[in-house]
Amino acid sequence: MAKKKKKPLLKKLLYKYRLVILNEDTFEERISLKLNRLNVFVYSALFALFLVGITTIIIAFTPLREYIPGYSSTELKQQATELAYKSDSIQRVLYLNEQYLNSIKKALTGDIELQQINRDSIFNEINASLDMSVLIPSQKDSLLRERVAQEDKYNIFESSIGISKALFPPVNGHVSSAFDLSNKHYAVDIAVAANTPVKATADGTVIFAEWTPQTGNVIIVEHQSNLISVYKHNASLIKKQGDIVKAGEVIATAGETGEMSTGIHLHFELWSNGYPVNPELFIDFE
């Protein structure tokens, strides 16, 4: 019985059919093909394998795979990685700039926590930042220094006061208001005549030189060892942001600009590592 069933099935697969394509108007025979079911199955399977093979080749070896969801090129991955690195770098730069601006804001507003400053550590930082080999003058340099000292009364050699040699007095005058942490007065006010030259207390770079409503014309200089000096209520500013200044170089003229000014004076602040320092511990203003 099994043999009888197999024979009709094999006959059905091998039974030949004729596929004829005719012209509809003239009934003329155009194409005639002799087929059987086995041929149809074989050709269909081969065609399916061909489609699978072509698709695999396209996905594996051609750029068209980039348009298929889930696939991406090596170049796109590299670009994505580079953009990720750039994004991290930009975030770090923004963070550093934000910290930098916060430090300047503290210097301008005096909005900080009260902390005790170690005077000896600040002296050590200032002295360590000095290159003693540069300070040894030659004979020509000594002659030049003596000549400049006679011609320019605002030069760096007008004051020589023991340990405060590291910092130059911005102006000479009477201290009308002293440094007071309890009242949040993080500066000394020195009474001077109008348009008195205001000089940089040490070598550094001008990081702020603008007018503010409360403190008038303000200039801030950044020095070595995280030291910042602030000069407020100036009549005019001689230096601008980004300028490099030397100790004793004139950077502004004293005045009484700003809403908080009570007369012609220089409001002078010193900041070390983000904290206020009493300038009178380092500078003799009289």
Report yes or no on 84 lying in a domain.
no
140 and 255 inside one domain: yes
Task: Give the pLDDT of residue 209.
Answer: 94
Residue 8 located in a structural domain = no
Q: Say yes or no: 267 and 173 in one domain.
A: yes
Q: Could you give the number of structural domains in the chain?
A: 2
Q: Which residues make Cβ contacts (< 8 Å) with residue 38, sequence separation at least 6?
A: 13, 14
CA distances from 236 to 32, 43, 193, 197, 259 (A): 104, 95, 14, 10, 16
Cα–Cα distances (Å) from 263 to 176, 217, 255, 256, 278, in that order, read 10, 14, 8, 5, 21
Question: Residue type for 271, please?
Answer: W
Does residue 109 lie in a domain region? no
62 & 174 share domain: no
Residues 132 and 270 in one domain: yes
Burial call 17-51: b when 16+ CB within 10 Å, e when fewer: eeeeeeeeeeeeeeeeeeeeeeeeeeeeeeeeeee
Q: Does residue 82 form part of some domain?
A: no
pTM of the full structure: 0.47
For 259, phi and psi rounded to 5 degrees? -65, -30
Last residue of a domain, one of 67, 95, 128: 67
pLDDT of 148 strictly over 70: no
Burial 64-93 (b: 16+ CB within 10 A, else e): eeeeeeeeeeeeeeeeeeeeeeeeeeeeee
> What does the pLDDT average to over 162-191?
83
Q: Which long-range CB contacts under 8 A does 31-39 form with residues at least 24 apart?
A: 37/12, 37/13, 38/13, 38/14
Binned at pLDDT 50, 70 and 90, residue 84 comes out as confident
160 compared with 95, residue with greater pLDDT: 95
Amino acid 181 reads L
Do 138 and 37 have their domain in common?
no
Q: Which residue has the higher pLDDT, 143 or 101?
A: 101
Q: Say whether both 144 and 60 belong to one domain.
A: no
Residue 138 within a domain: yes
- Segment 155-172, tens digit of pLDDT: 333 333 333 346 899 999
Residue with tokens 């059905």: 12
The CATH number of residue 255's host domain is 2.70.70.10
Whether residue 262 lies inside any domain: the answer is: yes
Domain end point (choices 26, 50, 67): 67
254, 235 Cβ separation under 8 angstroms: yes
The answer to whether residues 43 and 168 belong to one domain is no
**% the chain with pLDDT above 90:** 34
Average pLDDT over residues 40-66: 81
Whole-number pLDDT of residue 165? 44
Domain holding 149, by residue range, is 118-281
- Contact predicate 229/268, CB 8 Å: yes
Instruction: Tell me: pLDDT of 50 over 60.
Output: yes
Question: What residues contact residue 51 under an 8 Å CB cut-off, 6+ apart?
Answer: none
pLDDT for residue 7 is more than 50:
yes
In a shared domain, residues 270 and 144: yes
Which pLDDT value is given to residue 154?
38
pLDDT tier at 105, thresholds 50, 70, 90: confident
Q: Are residues 59 and 122 both part of a single domain?
A: no
Contact 250, 88 (CB under 8 A): no
Distances in Å between the alpha carbon of 253 and those of 113, 153, 204, 267? 31, 15, 18, 12
38 and 141 co-located in one domain? no
130 shares its domain with 260: yes
pLDDT for 266 equals 95
Same-domain pairing of 262 and 182: yes
Out of 29, 52, 67, a domain closes at 67
CB 267 within 8 A of CB 170: no
Say if 128 falls within a structural domain: yes
Give the three-state DSSP class for 262.
Answer: coil
Does 101 reside within a domain? no
The CA distance from 189 to 183, in Å, is 14
CA distance 105 to 111: 8
Interatomic CA distance for residues 105 and 71, integer angstroms: 50
Average pLDDT over the chain, rounded to an integer: 78
